[in-house]
Amino acid sequence: MAGLGNHIELRGRVFAELLERSGRGAATAVLRQLVELQRLLDNNRRWAELNAQQDPTFFASRAKGQAPRFLAIGCSDSRVPLEMLTGAEAGEMFVHRNIANQVYPSDLNALSVLQYAVEALKVPHVLVLGHYGCGGVAAAMEETPFGLVDNWLGDIRDVRRRHAHELETLPDESARFDRLVELNVMHQVLNLARTPVIQAAWRQGQRPMIHGAVFGMHDGLLRTLVTEFMKPSQNLETELIFAQVGETRRGPGTPAWRDADDLALGALRWLAGLVGPAIMAWMSWQTLRVPNTQSATGILYVGVIGVFLGEMISALLSTELGYPV
């Protein structure tokens, strides 16, 4: 109580001095700031007391070390508190935040966080979390210069240019804004997968899963964009396309090949990618015996298309199921 009394006495002296030197307006503004700070301190005290009452070992157990399950890379926006909106407890989530949830290969801050989380803490999940209504993405949609932050937003502007055709087909600016938020998250997942830290972890068999999601300001819900992206590949962009989903389709404990969609895709993979091309090759050979080279070539082209389709489906299923198909 003595400390609190001294704090109040100091605040009174500061207010009196400002009132004398700068007038009531400046003194009132400073006093308001001091009150806001005190509110945070009071909230912290209540939070500490509540957790200590509910679990007497709460602070002692966390003082021994941390073992988070998630690394979350999110936006600095004050409306998107990552731990709060996911219901994560203290010690469950390692967090890095910046404007528009960017993952730059030259950002030593983000890469240091990533390396520590993956190599030292051994987190099994890395989540890139964007949000609709992101000010950074909104700025990247504008041609107006904003100063220093323009250097930071260059990657989002590149994503916008790369997907210009898709964005132009959307009905209005709001839809384009939301879609660019989603594309930004997916692009940052790709950047994350390309980092030496993640590539090394995958090669060594650690295999942290990378996820991408967007938080909805209007309903408070997370929409999953990329899930279970964990396959090292020379063609990461192709693998990312296959990892994009609306929701996780298979619940825990469900046998992989009992999913009807996977069965259908598996059948199509065999018919279009293996059986079909074999039939096309036989037909092409029979046509050459007529002989009719032009027709044989056309049939062979159809077989090649079937092989390509089958390989794409194979990559999709292998990524989803976790073993080659």
Q: Which positions are catalytic?
A: 75, 77, 79, 131, 134
Return the closest-CA partner of residue 316 out of 304, 325, 308. Answer: 325
Query: Residue for token digits 């295999």?
Result: 207
What gap in Å lies between CA 172 and CA 170, rounded to an integer?
6
Interhelix angle 293-321/260-270, nearest 10 degrees:
150
Return the closest-CA partner of residue 277 out of 245, 244, 299, 246. Answer: 299
Query: Residue for token digits 């794409």?
Result: 312
Helices (H) and strands (E) in the chain, counts: 15, 5
User: What are the φ and ψ backbone dihedral angles of 95, each rounded to 5 degrees?
Assistant: -125, 135
Query: Residue for token digits 């731990």?
Result: 83
Please count the other Cβ atoms lying within 10 Å of the Cβ belonging to residue 40.
9
The 10 Å CB-count burial string (b at 16+, else e) for 186-203 is bbbbbbbbebebbeebbe
